[in-house]
Amino acid sequence: MAELNAEFRGYRSPLSTRYASKEMQYLFSDQHKFSTWRKLWILLAKAEKTLGLDITDEQIREMEKHVEDIDFKAAAAEEALTRHDVMAHVHVFAEQCPLAAPIIHLGATSCFVGDNTDLLILKEALDQLLPKLVGIIKQLAQFAMQYRDLPTLGFTHLQPAQLTTVGKRCSLWIQDLLMDERALRTCRDNLRFRGVKGTTGTQASFLQLFAGDSAKVRQLDQTVTRLAGFERYYAVTGQTYSRKVDLEIVSALASLGATVHKMCSDLRLLASRKELEEPFEQTQIGSSAMPYKRNPMRSERCCALARHMITLQANAANTLAVQWLERTLDDSANRRLTLSEAFLSADACMLTLLNISQGLVVYPKVIERNIAQELPFMSTENVIMAMVKAGGDRQVCHEKIRVLSHEAGAQVKQHGKDNDLVDRIRADPYFAPILGQLGSILDPKTFTGRAADQVVEFVNEEVNPIVALYGDKVVTKSAQLKI
């Protein structure tokens, strides 16, 4: 039995088993990491060959045959002996490629494969994440447009304030997501390659390889960078590329986490008021004890993962802060956790939020009922102004409204009854001159200002250009969520 359940007897990350996509998981897998190391060794050999080093096409072809077939057990055994992961994989690769063995990793330091692989992974991870984020923005924009003029209670201090619209509120979420898209796209566009820099970033080993020819060393850096798919490399590095790069990216992801948490907290509050709900499957169970419940579990999942994303920013900041001189190794174990979990958590949030944004359910009648409980109080200024226009004294009218409002408030708070302020106004002869106007005065749409127009302008001017920027790369269909 123990053998049958062996896979369940050790720790497994829920990011792998429950939340993140297979595609994002693959980017941070051992297979992808170490096959990328081998690809980098091949790119280095090709570039060194073109610049005159004694490297043959046969050696390169031999390496290319063994990019994917990694003997992980042999590599683990080597690392147990050497206590060095890069040298362990150099040895294993060399055993598979005896002809190429003398030129594998030629002139390079461990960070040639380690850091450059991380940069390639960060680039690919951003390329996966951004189209999902823009897919969410696109879905929410459609929702905002659909409900741009549906009045709803606006809240400040979590207390009813002036009315807004369902679409306008959604546009606030979208605006934050657009800022996240911009920040992540900037990280993606600014990302560079470490290239070939040597042990402390001086390129001394490569200068020796090329007999002091500085121009060839620079050309080597440029060639490997281009072959790896980057346009630029960092002009100066220590042993590693600056961990400021990691901090910028993780900070952008942490900021995205804050956006997701705010939006999904709003959804949870609205679900509590029964005004809006996330998708709920036919067979979904909200509670083991209360069969009637429709818990906002997707939004709750997003909030949970988003909080983890937010905390990772401190890890990246502290790692940068303690990199003494040209580097220390206390970044390694932390980065193995921080970079992967930041992206896997973000990916899981995007998948879940995309699912939510495609199936939001609005309950207009509930919204209307909730407005009816508060609008009489909000309309008092309009009532006063109408009375003044009809020849009334503002101060007298204000006092009348004040008294009636307190009486109606007592009915609501002390007796649990509906707000009857309008009925009290109708029953007071003082307000007879404006009774025919009460219907229009109490029309919720007259309290939403330019909300609907703002949504249209926002979507056309700010959202659509970003969606168009991604073209057919935008992810608009969410995969079925894991448990």
- For the annotated catalytic residues, the residue numbers are 157, 287
Residue whose token pair is 């940069």 = 119
Give the separation between CA 51 and CA 249, rounded to whole angstroms.
Answer: 35
- 232-265 burial code (b ≥16 CB/10 A, e <16): ebbeebbbbbbbebbbbbbbbbbbbbbbbbebbb
Instruction: Report whether 424 contacts 404 (CB < 8 A).
Output: yes
Angle of CA points 244, 246, 250, to nearest 5°: 120
459: Cα separation from own chain's centroid: 20
Give the separation between CA 412 and CA 184, rounded to whole angstroms.
Answer: 48
Give the separation between CA 24 and CA 342, rounded to whole angstroms.
Answer: 11
Beta strand spans in 219-359 (E) = 276-277
Give the separation between CA 95 and CA 80, rounded to whole angstroms.
Answer: 17
Residues 6+ apart with CB under 8 A from 21: 128, 347, 348, 351, 479
Give the pair of three-digit tokens for residue 456: 């249209």
- Is 154 in a helix, a strand, or coil? strand
